[in-house]
Amino acid sequence: MATPDLQLYIKTACPFCHKVTSFMEAHNIVLPVHNISESDEDRDFLIEHGGKRQVPCLFIDGGALYESSDIIAYLSKTGNVADATEAVDTPQEDVSAIPEGGSCTIGGGCSF
């Protein structure tokens, strides 16, 4: 079975993006990360190929997966992570502010 092509799209001020990247760091999951706050090209790609103006977005072989909890569950399953619900190394004040799952729009609004 071929390894899927994974590409993660995030933006700097998104708490759900931070949740996903913190999970990846805690579990030594490494994959290409594209920050739409730093690259107009990455933002345009996300909109054109993902069909939504929303992050975090994990492209899996070109298909878009949204929602932080769904992304973490997928990475847990494919990244040989024992427990996707175990705590990630996030400052305590940030943890209480991040709901179970969600996403943010390119314009800045977040949905929980």
Q: Average of pLDDT values for 76-93? A: 54
Whole-number pLDDT of residue 5: 93
Q: Is 20 helix (H, G, I), strand (E, B) or coil?
A: helix
Token pair recorded at residue 96: 């209480």
Q: Is the pLDDT of residue 98 over 90?
A: no
- 3-class SS shares of the chain: helix, strand, coil, % to 5: 35, 20, 45
Query: Does the pLDDT of residue 72 top 80, yes or no?
Result: yes
Phi, psi of 69 (to 5 degrees): -65, -35
Pairwise CA distance, residues 99 & 81, whole Å: 21
Rg of the chain, C-alpha, whole Å: 13
| pLDDT range class, residue 16, cuts 50, 70, 90 | very high
Q: Domains in the chain, start-ordered, CATH in brackets? A: 6-111 (3.40.30.10)
Of 38, 40, 62, nearest to 51 by C-alpha is: 62
Record the pTM.
0.78
Euclidean distance between CA atoms 88 and 106, whole angstroms: 25
